[in-house]
């Protein structure tokens, strides 16, 4: 009975937190679960850390990183169809037009001040405005109204929070990394190309900091890489064998035709 009451209390607490928009009231394990649930709902890989934490208006919340918008465009088949640029009152404005594979369209703008800028600083401002526009239209078209990391610097009072500040002393980091290793094993068993293997290995390598865990990942990577290379070699040998097998028949036909 006490377990049921605890579960109900946790659910009620989570509901209150989500309504208020403040993740600071959740325990570390609840925040991890929330983070993973968000990633799962959007088909994002949590091991690439597509979101990070930020305090805004005295509330702890998530903001969107570059990894997230890139994955979202791939998952949802989002294409940036057109970019328009203009300057108004020393503000450089970029409008991005996006379309999903289902044909839905959306637009969003990114703007930066270019007053007093020239040379490389001006070029960087142009690129920043375009990046803002592309990321904002990506988030808008999938219905995700969160802040993008390109917008944080311009928001007064916004502060990025390091992972250690969130989880320090509350959870076992090694437990998370060990689960990541298990996920890595599960993932590589399903792939059939070296490119996929390299990408998955890179994602997990960035996530894990422990030296022993990284050594395990490297060993698993090398074993799987060897298997895939052997498969490729075997396919090539089979092709050569078939080629050699067919060649005599072709030569015989040529001899018969000559006769």
At 16-66, the pLDDT tens digits run: 666 667 788 777 778 888 888 888 888 888 878 888 888 888 888 888 988
Q: Radius of gyration over alpha carbons of the chain, in Å?
A: 26
Q: Please list, in sequence order, all residues whose beta carbon lies within 8 angstroms of the beta carbon of residue 147, skipping any fewer than 6 positions away.
A: 54, 56, 63, 64, 155, 158
Residue 177 dihedral angles phi and psi, to the nearest 5°: -70, -35
Inter-CA distances, 124 with 83, 96, 112, 203, Å: 17, 18, 10, 28
Tell which residue, 77, 73, 72, has the closest CA to residue 39. Answer: 72
Inter-CA distances, 126 with 86, 93, 162, Å: 10, 9, 29
Model pLDDT, residue 217: 74
185 vs 148, higher pLDDT: 148
**Residue found by looking up tokens 């219905």 in the block:** 143
77-141: what CATH class?
alpha beta
97-147 pLDDT per residue, tens: 999 999 999 999 999 999 999 999 999 999 999 999 999 999 999 888 888
* Continuous segment of H or E residues that includes residue 81: strand 79-88
Domains in the chain: boundaries: 2-67+159-167, 77-141, 173-251
């Amino acid at each position: 009975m006490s377990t049921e009451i605890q579960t109900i209390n946790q659910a009620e607490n989570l509901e209150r937190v989500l309504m208020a928009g403040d993740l600071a009231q959740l325990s570390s394990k609840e925040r991890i679960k929330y983070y993973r649930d968000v990633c799962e709902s959007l088909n994002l890989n949590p091991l690439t850390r597509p979101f990070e934490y930020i305090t805004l208006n005295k509330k702890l919340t998530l903001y969107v990183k570059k990894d997230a918008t890139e994955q979202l465009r791939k998952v949802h088949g989002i294409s940036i169809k057109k970019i328009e640029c203009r300057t108004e009152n020393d503000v450089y404005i970029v409008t991005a037009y996006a379309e999903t594979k289902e044909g839905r369209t959306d637009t969003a703008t990114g703007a930066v001040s270019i007053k007093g800028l020239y040379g490389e600083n001006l070029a960087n401002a142009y690129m920043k405005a375009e990046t803002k526009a592309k990321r904002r239209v990506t988030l808008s078209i999938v219905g995700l109204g969160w802040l993008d990391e390109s917008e944080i610097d311009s928001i007064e009072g916004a502060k990025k929070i390091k992972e250690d500040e969130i989880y320090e002393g509350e959870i076992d980091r090694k437990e998370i990394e060990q689960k990541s290793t298990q996920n890595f094993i599960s993932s590589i068993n399903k792939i059939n190309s070296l490119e996929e293997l390299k990408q998955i290995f890179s994602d997990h390598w960035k996530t894990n900091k422990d030296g022993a865990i990284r050594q395990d990942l490297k060993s698993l990577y090398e074993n799987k890489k060897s298997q895939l290379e052997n498969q490729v070699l075997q396919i090539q040998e089979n092709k050569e064998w078939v080629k050699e097998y067919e060649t005599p028949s072709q030569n015989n036909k040529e001899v018969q035709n000559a006769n």
